[in-house]
Amino acid sequence: MEFDWAEEDLSYRSELQAFLAEELPGRWEGATAVLGSADNAEYSRRFAGLLAEKGWLTPHWPTEWGGTGATPWMLAVLGEELWSRGEPRGPQYMNVNWIGPSIMAHGTVEQCQRYLPPIAAGDVIWCQGFSEPEAGTDLASLQTRAVRDGDDYVVNGSKIWTSYGDIADHCYLLVRTDPRAERHRGISVLLMAMDSPGLVVRPIPGMVGEHSFTELFLTDVRIPVANRLGPENEGWNVVREALSFERVGAPRWARAALVLDETVRGALEQGRSIDPMAVEAVGLAKTACEAARVLCYRVIDERARDLPPSPHANVARVAMVQAERLVADACAAIEGNEIMRYGSDSDLQMRKSLAAGVAAGTYEVQLNLVSRRHLRLPKG
Amino acid sequence: MSLDLSYSAEQSELARSVDGLCRRCGAGAGFTGTDPLPEQYWRGLAELGVLGLGTAAGGGGALEIAASMEQLGTHGAPGPLVGTFVAGALLDPAEMEPVSEGRQLASVGQPPLMPWATRAGVFVEIDSSEAWLSRPAGAPEPVDTTAGEPWGRVELERLRPLGDATAAVALGQTATAAYLAGAAQHLVEIASQYATDRVQFNRPIATFQAISHPLASCSVSVAASRIMARAAACALDNRDPDAPAAAARARLSATASATASAYQAHQTFGAIGFTIEGPVAHVSLRIRQLSLQPIPVASARSRVLESLGI
């Protein structure tokens, strides 16, 4: 049995922390300022460019496309350190974690040469065009239609809840190319330029930090057939595989754990009394963060051993939602009124805790998957 | 034993008037826009006599306050509501008059972070058992809050003690509980309607027990909170010695049920719940805020424990 960091992981973390201490304004205060918002897109580009120069933006990519052969554990260290500081890569975490790898896996040589170098340089922002008004959790019911017309697809429909749609250069777009096929078939992935004529982007102000959604309206948008990723009508498998690159997604527990630690530290430094209920809430929250951490590590270990994706990823996602919520409750118990200071770390944590069970696959769907795949319960 | 927790005809009429005012003023972006306290709304509350409830001049008592607050919670209505009622229970009539008439706002809380401090004309510092009429020692430093309220960080100078605050705190706990119960009831209702209307996987999402059971569970705890808030208001109006503990229990119950209902409403509505223009966010953020302030929820826990001799 072994449960410890390798020397190379520890030294990488130290080097990364030293870099972040220098680059992120005020470390902790800066974290909220750079929280993946549209206003801070330029910060994201500058910061991701710096990471690219250090070889830390796409370390897990093949060397052919700018990678350095980093292990999944080093990638985990990178994710933890960046996410806990408010994710200064902003939207680009999607680029490097799954959009780039998906293009590598399914793209033509031309697509790889065109799209991967800007991602590896930290110089491009992508968004994902998945959900539609009537296709949320039930994504396979999507209706945005793409019809072949010569060398183009003509696309009509709308997408909603698209993060960064107003600042992105490209969109990883899911469309229906065969309306007669069974719902999981007949879907294709198109790589759409966000300056395409016929595309209108409407921001939707949101309550979670500065980060806002957008709605995309597509009217006769022409997208070259050459921009299709993977085979026509087999986009469902392409996107499923793309999302499995992430497995557990962002290490949300790392941010929650840091917010908890900082909130407790702040209270102790200011000599504020912490009542017994708050003490218990802190204990529960700290434990939940640790539970999420080890369950995420189990998934990373699978990847490090080149094992196929397993239900352990769903288990870890559930644990992360629980941790985010318990940390918000603990912060409220410690801070009292102070948690309500808009934009404070604990205020943002509270907002994020409300969103935790919805973002990136709902809590209920994750529980369904745990029930079926982990407990092997029959489907209802 | 008798159990009649329905409001009287007059109390129900007041509740209907508050509901009507909120419908008029809260329509569109009335309660979600950039103005944290629409003037027409606050003036309307003053004209209805809501801001003077519980004072000698204004009449009414805890039940009228509870009836009003349930409606205000239903609409996620803004303003220093709890602080106003607490101030009314503590201040002299002359000091309270501009607050009851809506000409001044009351900032009631624990310094340095005081509610509505940048706009308030009357400041009351309060802990679980004592209160002081106070004044700011300097200009408050503006602090925006979770629910978009203009609070301020300020040092207060105590002008005079306002005596034992136990009854005023109990009234604040009851008012908070009634507001939270109304807000939670509203969220459970709109989430249930949405779950009935929203079709995914070719069926209304309400047919999934993962959606319906948590909503049902919330509705149980919200029902209890509403009854407890009304029971606490009865106890206060009857000067029952158990009233402070009853108010504290109601506050704790409402805090728990409203927080759970806010989570569940967000789960049910999905992304639309996180939009500023959607039906959930402004209510859920106000629930989070009201569950904490201006009377600390910890004081309710202490009061309940005290009533048990702990």
Domains of chain B, first to last: 9-165 (1.10.540.10), 167-307 (1.20.140.10)
Output the pLDDT for position B42. Answer: 98
pLDDT in tens, A112-149: 999 999 999 999 999 999 999 999 889 999 999 999 99
Output the pLDDT for position A277. Answer: 84
Answer yes or no: is pLDDT of A33 > 50. no
* Beta strands across the sheet bearing B141-144: B113-114, B150-153, B141-144
Q: Are B117 and B129 in contact (CB under 8 A)?
A: no
One domain, residues A36 and A60: yes
Q: Three-state SS for A177?
A: coil
How far apart are the C-alpha atoms of A328 and A357, rounded to whole Å? 13
Q: Which domain holds residue A212?
A: 126-232
Distances (CA, A) of A356 to A8, A211, B172, B272, B276: 32, 14, 32, 14, 17
pLDDT band of A34, cuts 50, 70, 90: very low
What are the percentages of helix, strand and coil residues in chain A, rounded to 5?
50, 15, 30
List, in sequence order, the alpha helices (H) in chain A. 7-23, 28-33, 41-54, 72-84, 92-94, 100-106, 109-120, 235-244, 252-269, 276-304, 312-335, 345-355, 363-369
Are the Cβ atoms of A367 and B277 closer than 8 angstroms? no
Output the pLDDT for position B2. Answer: 73
pLDDT in tens, A349-363: 888 888 888 877 788
> Cis omega (within 30 of 0) on the bond before A133?
no
Interface check A377 vs B, CB under 8 A: no
pLDDT band of A31, cuts 50, 70, 90: very low
pLDDT band of B22, cuts 50, 70, 90: very high
How far apart are the C-alpha atoms of B256 and B228, rounded to whole Å? 13
pLDDT in tens, B129-150: 899 999 999 999 999 998 889 9
One domain, residues A258 and A369: yes
Distances (CA, A) of A86 to A21, A81, A99, A209, B160: 13, 9, 21, 11, 46
How far apart are the C-alpha atoms of A241 and A105, rounded to whole Å? 9
Answer yes or no: is pLDDT of A180 > 50. yes
Given A77, A93, A120, which residue is the final one in a domain?
A: A120
Phi-psi domain of B202 (left: phi exceeds 0; alpha: psi -120 through 50; beta: other)? left
Residue (of B37, B25, B171) closest to B104 by Cα position: B37
One domain, residues A197 and A95: no
Output the pLDDT for position B29. Answer: 80
Which of B146, B199, B281 has its CB closest to that of A342? B146
Output the pLDDT for position A196. Answer: 98
Measured between beta carbons, the chain B residues lying within 8 angstroms of A278 are 298
Answer yes or no: is pLDDT of A247 > 80. no
Nearest C-alpha of chain A: how many angstroms from B59? 31
Answer yes or no: is pLDDT of A27 > 70. no
CATH number, domain containing residue A21: 1.10.540.10
pLDDT in tens, B88-106: 999 999 999 999 999 999 9
Answer yes or no: is pLDDT of A39 > 70. no
- Segment A232-237 mean pLDDT: 95
How far apart are the C-alpha atoms of A238 and A240, rounded to whole Å? 6
Are the Cβ atoms of A358 and B284 closer than 8 angstroms? no
Which residues between 97 and 156 in chain B have a beta carbon less than 8 angstroms from any beta carbon of chain A? 109-110, 113, 143-148, 151
How far apart are the C-alpha atoms of A142 and A134, rounded to whole Å? 7
Answer yes or no: is pLDDT of A209 > 70. no
One domain, residues A115 and A132: no
Measured between beta carbons, the chain A residues lying within 8 angstroms of B289 are 340
Measured between beta carbons, the chain A residues lying within 8 angstroms of B270 are 136-137, 358, 362
For residue A380, is it within any domain? Answer: no
How far apart are the C-alpha atoms of A15 and B250, rounded to whole Å? 52
B244, amino acid identity: P
Q: State which residue of chain B sits closest to A368, comparing Cα positions.
A: B210
pLDDT band of A25, cuts 50, 70, 90: low
**Is the complex ipTM more than 0.90?**
no
For residue A242, is it within any domain? Answer: no
CATH number, domain containing residue A189: 2.40.110.10
A67, amino acid identity: G
How far apart are the C-alpha atoms of A258 and A289, rounded to whole Å? 10
Answer yes or no: is pLDDT of A38 > 60. no
Distances (CA, A) of A141 to A183, A200, A213, A229, B44: 6, 22, 21, 20, 47
Answer yes or no: is pLDDT of A210 > 80. no
pLDDT in tens, B31-77: 988 899 999 999 999 999 999 999 988 889 999 999 999 999 999 99
